[in-house]
Chains A and B, each alone.
Chain A
């Protein structure tokens, strides 16, 4: 059977069926990405809204990848569901894809609203393909990262700490909610090593904000694709599937 089909069925079971039974959970997951956006909007009197939208979009996607990691830890330790999947024809990447799709499903309302805002501020429908590909790229690499990290964390308590730490590293410290140009050179180069920096710049660019002189779309894509490939390769080869 095609892995893609298996992944869809996993997403259907853990995402759509779950939502059918708990529609309220969609409301909660839909609202949370807007909290920082709201604060920044109010504090800056609306001035900061473009950066806040770009940042919120990046942070939401990082959040879905990390939530995937949490779900996977939970399915593994609390439900032993992963044990059932390991001893079956489903491959680890298929399992990961299935759960990542279901995470995306939960995020869909918020992502849609944020994406619509990006297009609205950008003022051009032509930017939609760029926007969607940036979203998918970041979603893919963050999911693979979440899967990889979670498979190495056996204890749930530890998991929560690692996850908030990674969230800070990827969504708070680097120029995700602020412009990379405000950083001194050395820090700017450092932040170029972080995939979320590029995702944020792409969203900012889509909304018509200026991009740094030493940055280009190709560069941004290249770094993000490199992270995607890297994390997927890590997830495929180094994530713990069969325990040792």
Chain B
């Protein structure tokens, strides 16, 4: 069964001249992490909220876990759990209050809810802060409370809209590991993130959307192939000019004193010899998801109407 099946979904917000989503068709396998990438305002949250029965599509069909997300919203809601973008825990309530009571509201018995709350709070390192009111928690801890609430629930499909925003690198990895465990139980996840390393580590399938349209999708390695070259060479700029390098591949300025050349492996040897001759530092690496993202959606809007 598919976790999500979107057919020609469009969304035009009331009073907005542009569609936030236009004609999006996607299929997310169940038991996988399905990731949406895109610039600010690309339409990720809009898509997530339509799937999570929080927002109506303007047109198109959307099936979640085999159910119609518009006509069978109530059945869908039994099976999903969400971390909304920019959510906040209630000031006076503690992490324990949030997770435990949410589990109870969603129908868990007392004992089971206690167990699950403890497991989840320990797992996200909120255990020591379990009795602290949310207003006395740090920003990242507050965010983790919302993640803990959503992930403690027994749902089949989890919607995570930028779940690791503001988390330190260790906390992010705790969330990643919880996500992997969720998946290991055969359950599905729809994730959005601006962190390419996170997308790379977690995703089974990625979709890049730009201005409401799908521009590319596939596995990480599928997406890497979007860039015609497979290797990236960064060379210190000192005295070099971009034209001199353009014979080897496409050249961009990283803005950090380096020129970046996307090239084929065959050109790497010559490039590195050139750098050594001129005594310039350089690094060679495979093309990353970050590069693909910038390549696909990073064109500056200069003279577009």
* Residues of A that sit less than 8 Å from B by CB: 1, 6, 9-10, 12-14, 17-18, 21-22, 78-81, 83-84, 86-90, 242-244
Q: Is B88 an interface residue (CB 8 A)?
A: yes
Contact B81 A244 (CB under 8 A): no
Contact B77 A244 (CB under 8 A): no
Pick the 3 closest A-B CB pairs, nearest first: A80-B87, A83-B84, A1-B107
Contact B77 A88 (CB under 8 A): yes
Contacts A6-B105, A13-B97, A244-B14; is A84 near B88 (CB within 8 Å)? no
Q: Which residues of B contact A244 (CB under 8 A)?
A: 14, 55-56
Closest beta carbon of chain A to B149's beta carbon, Å: 7
Closest beta carbon of chain B to A129's beta carbon, Å: 32
Q: Which residues of A contact B293 (CB under 8 A)?
A: none
Closest beta carbon of chain B to A7's beta carbon, Å: 9
Contact A81 B78 (CB under 8 A): no
Closest beta carbon of chain B to A213's beta carbon, Å: 50
Closest beta carbon of chain B to A198's beta carbon, Å: 35
CB-contact partner of B149 in A78, A84, A242, A243, under 8 A: A84
- The CA of A212 and the CA of B74, in the complex, are separated in Å by 49
- The CA of A79 and the CA of B91, in the complex, are separated in Å by 10
Q: Which residues of B contact A13 (CB under 8 A)?
A: 90, 93, 97, 101, 105
Q: Which residues of B contact A17 (CB under 8 A)?
A: 92-93, 97, 101
Closest beta carbon of chain B to A57's beta carbon, Å: 28
Interface residues of B in 142-195 (CB under 8 A from A): 146, 149-150, 159
Contact B97 A87 (CB under 8 A): no
Interface size class of B (residues with CB under 8 A): 35 or more
Chain A residue with minimal CB distance to B93? Answer: A17
Q: Is B32 an interface residue (CB 8 A)?
A: no
Closest beta carbon of chain A to B148's beta carbon, Å: 12
Contacts A86-B54, A89-B78; is A80 near B105 (CB within 8 Å)? no
Chain A residue with minimal CB distance to B55? Answer: A243
Q: Is B111 an interface residue (CB 8 A)?
A: no
Contacts A9-B104, A244-B14; is A84 near B93 (CB within 8 Å)? no
Chain A residue with minimal CB distance to B135? Answer: A21
Q: Is B52 an interface residue (CB 8 A)?
A: yes
CB-contact partner of B82 in A6, A87, A89, A242, under 8 A: A87
Contact A89 B106 (CB under 8 A): yes
Q: Which residues of A contact B88 (CB under 8 A)?
A: 78-80
